Structures are given as structure tokens and as C-alpha cells.
């Protein structure tokens, strides 16, 4: 659950509403149906989770939802508790929430050079300004950016 929250940039509501029928293991993708703003979107099933997720879903018989508990669909509070417990277990002292993983997903994609408009699509944002809130750019990253004139001048010399 935690890996999917981060690896796909899910909102908690999207994770708890994810149904087995929305996973296409042949294409290695899944679909968020009726996410926030009633938007549908596609996500890639991460390679490192693919086998585990497929086996888990194949064995799951008692629910249409990918993740469920004894009483059916998990609540947002269940997921919050699971994430907080995992953070404590990992020795993380800062407050960690499921949404922290979504922010990290967006930030790490941006840091690895993925175009912000693609990140916007992956997050399911209608407006680019919403995506920009998720992407925290550090001062160290900004210091690494070279002026275009420096590149031009290299060619001249």
C-alpha cells in the first residue's frame, strides 16, 4: 500500500477505491476511476511491485477492492495509521502522512527531469498551478542550473 502511494502518486481516496478490475497486468498499467474532480487517469504499475501486486490480487477472492480489511473497504484513517506506523518503525521522527508520499512522488519526478506537464497528468491535476505546489525545488538544485549563455560561449571558444 505504502509503495503504491509513493510509486503512483496516489491520493488516499484513490488507493482505497482501487479495484482489481482497474489493473491491467498485461499492459502493466492501472486506472484511477473517478478520482478527485471525477477525473479518470492512467498509472504505470511499478516494475519492482509488479509480481507482488499481481500475486496479491490473484489470491484475493473476497473483495473487488485491491486493499480491504475484515469489514470491507479500508478507510482513509486506516491508511493514515499504517503510514504513520511504518514511518515510526523506519525511525522517521517527522510527521509523515499519506499525502507526504504524493508530494515526494511529484518532487522526485521533477528532480529526475520529467516535464512538469507530464507530472500534472500523472497526478490528475486540471491546473498546472496545483502541480507546482507539490514540487519543491531546492536552492541546491537551482545553483546547478547553468545560464544558456555559458553553453553558447563554450561553443564559441
- Residues with a catalytic annotation lie at 11, 36, 99, 102, 125, 134
Q: Which residues of 98-113 are buried (b: 16+ CB within 10 A; e: fewer)?
A: bebbbbbbbbebbeee
- Count Cβ atoms within 10 A of the Cβ of residue 18 and give its class: 0-12 exposed, 13-18 middle, 19 or more buried: buried
**Do the beta carbons of residue 83 and residue 98 sit within 8 Å?**
yes
Cα Dmax for the chain: 71
Query: CA 110, CA 118: separation in Å to the nearest integer?
Result: 10
**Do the beta carbons of residue 109 and residue 22 sit within 8 Å?**
no
Amino acid at each position: 500500500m505504502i509503495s503504491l502511494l509513493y510509486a503512483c502518486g496516489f491520493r488516499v481516496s484513490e488507493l482505497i477505491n482501487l479495484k482489481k478490475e482497474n489493473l491491467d497486468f498485461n499492459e502493466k498499467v492501472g486506472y484511477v476511476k473517478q478520482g478527485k474532480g471525477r477525473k479518470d487517469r492512467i498509472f504505470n504499475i511499478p516494475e519492482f511491485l509488479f509480481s507482488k501486486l499481481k500475486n496479491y490480487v490473484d489470491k484475493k477472492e473476497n473483495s473487488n477492492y485491491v486493499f480491504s480489511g475484515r469489514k470491507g473497504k479500508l478507510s482513509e484513517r486506516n491508511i493514515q495509521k499504517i503510514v504513520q506506523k511504518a514511518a515510526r518503525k523506519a525511525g522517521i521522527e517527522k510527521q509523515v502522512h499519506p499525502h507526504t508520499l504524493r508530494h515526494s512522488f511529484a518532487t522526485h519526478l521533477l528532480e529526475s527531469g520529467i516535464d512538469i506537464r507530464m507530472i500534472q497528468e500523472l497526478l490528475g491535476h486540471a491546473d498546472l498551478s496545483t502541480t507546482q505546489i507539490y514540487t519543491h525545488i531546492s536552492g541546491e538544485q537551482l545553483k546547478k542550473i547553468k545560464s544558456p549563455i555559458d553553453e553558447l560561449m563554450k561553443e564559441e571558444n
